Structure 1
Amino acid sequence: MMLPPRCAVAAMQPQALQGNRLHRCCEEVKGVDGADWRDMGIACRHEFRWNVNPAHDLHIVNGFVSGRNRRDLAMTIKGSCLCGGVRFEIDAARSLTFCHCSNCRKLSGAAFASYVHVDADKFRFTSGEQLIERFESAPGSFRNFCRVCSSTVPGKAAYLTTVSIPAGLFDDDPGVRPKLHVFVSSKAPWWEIADSLPQHDKWVPGFAPPSQQ
């Protein structure tokens, strides 16, 4: 089967094309209802990965996508720890924040730590959960890390509905940009905040642990 040289579909999921033909470059592939990728929130073919569930009848025929579950075409955003043992993926991120508390500064070894926050139902580990150890950095506050490379890895506080992911773990663009600073009252004395993002002395209102509200 010969595909157009610019078409990235075969490289992404060749089995989805078996027995079918693709007459147009994937830039022009449309869904069964005629909507193109831009209508699905995808800017171009290179920003999208196939995530085909074999239980679904998703396939391409003459350049058109068919299948019962259109969510199989959704983008996933991937990340991993330094050694690659712990891997995860998300469907979408809510926000990216900077924390200047002393614990986060010591954990990151930097002036502040950067976290991407994701709804728990949009996050999943794909490998390496058995490598994750926990450290109680403050009473009732646990930090997860990879026991092989010591990278801080995603974790969820019991009182929150979101998972906090160290932003540096992402292998793909998480799709969010810095939103605010927290715990600026504890910031490193050798660092000055030069941006115009909102600053909070401690917790963002409404997000403090129950014991500190």
Structure 2
Amino acid sequence: MSDDRAGTTGDAAAGETADSRLASRLRELARRTGRRYSAGHDRPLGGYLASMAGFGAYTAAWATAVRLRGTPVPDRPQPWDVVLTSVATFRLSRLLSKASVTSPLRAPFTRYVGPQGPAELHEEADPKGGKDAVGELVTCPFCTSVWVVSTLTAGQLLWPRATRTAMGALTALAGADALQLAYGALVSRTTGDD
């Protein structure tokens, strides 16, 4: 009986060794791929991979919620919904990734560089502690918009009235911002202030 146990233990040790060798090979392959891809620049490929996995899990959770609720998915989006979603996504993405007031949400992953446009900030990703990929995500309105549009799309399927009301408010805010900028430019031109 002790021989059987010894054989089982030996098989487990051999399996762990094979697993650790495979893991080691995969890590080395990832390092070589990262070095070749980055061309001497510091690119957080592991962080990007984690972001993609997180986004996949996030959208899978929304899809599961929509399916469990039994909400029918339309054959195609209505043109007005596309316009409303586009403008709302633009405004909410800029609010989350650039606005001064939301900087406390970005601060753990970024560092302040200076002002950038009306009521917006220029921040850079913090390269320390693996925060660079998250810092890039939260300071990039293009990156943030992927998450925002997914959330708004799921919201339209699960809570259409509330989501369209929120999107209407964000669209009105974008319109108000455009009017503020146009007014500021007009005043500046008529008073000669540049």
Q: TM-score, normalised by structure 2?
A: 0.23
Larger Rg belongs to: 2
- Would you tell me which structure has more helix in proportion to its own residues? 2
Q: Which has the higher contact order (CA 8 A, sep 6+)?
A: 2
Q: TM-score, normalised by structure 1?
A: 0.22
- Would you tell me which structure has more strand in proportion to its own residues? 1
